[in-house]
C-alpha cells in the first residue's frame, strides 16, 4: 500500500476511516527523516502489515496533527487504533518502527 500524505484538514478523517494507522511526522530540514523515507515506503508495501494504513505528515505545516501525536522531535512515528493514539515513538531506527507495527497488528 502506498504512503498517503495527509494534512491538518484531513488527518482526523483518515484516522476515523482506518482502524489501524501509523503516521510518520517529518520536515524537509530533517536529514534523518529524508533518509528514512525509502524505508517507510518499503514497510508500507510489506505484506506483514496488510491491515495498517501508512500516513505521513509534514510537521512544519500541520500543528494540529502534530499536537495529537505529541510530536516534539523528528522523525516521530505515531500509531493509532480506532482513532486513539496508541504510541508515539521518536526514532530513526527501522527496528523500532517495526516493533511499533508488530504491536499494532
Q: Which residues bind other proteins (CB under 8 A)?
A: 27-36, 59-60, 66, 71-74, 92
Q: Is 37 or 98 the residue whose CB approaches other proteins more closely?
A: 37
Catalytic residue status for 30 = yes
Nearest CB to other proteins, comparing residues 20 and 39 = 39
**Least Cβ distance, residue 38 to other proteins (angstroms):** 9
Query: CA 56, 22, 81: angle at the middle one, nearest 5?
Result: 135
Comparing CB distances to other proteins, the nearer of 31 and 50 is 31
| DSSP states along 29-45 | T-HHHHHHHHHHHHHHT
What is the closest distance, in whole angstroms, from the C-beta atom of residue 37 to other proteins in the complex? 9
Find all residues with CB under 8 Å of 57, minimum gap 6, and list them. Answer: 5, 6, 7, 11, 23, 24, 25, 26, 65, 66
Amino acid at each position: 500500500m502506498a504512503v498517503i500524505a495527509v494534512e491538518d484538514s484531513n488527518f482526523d478523517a483518515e484516522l476515523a476511516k482506518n482502524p489501524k494507522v501509523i503516521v510518520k511526522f517529518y520536515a524537509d530540514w530533517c536529514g534523518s527523516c529524508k533518509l528514512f523515507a525509502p524505508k517507510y515506503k518499503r514497510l508500507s508495501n510489506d505484506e506483514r502489515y496488510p491491515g495498517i494504513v501508512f500516513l505521513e505528515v509534514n510537521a512544519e505545516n500541520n500543528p494540529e496533527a502534530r499536537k495529537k501525536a505529541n510530536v516534539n522531535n523528528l522523525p516521530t512515528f505515531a500509531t493509532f487504533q480506532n482513532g486513539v493514539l496508541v504510541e508515539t515513538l521518536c526514532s530513526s531506527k527501522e527496528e523500532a518502527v517495526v516493533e511499533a507495527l508488530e504491536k499494532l497488528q
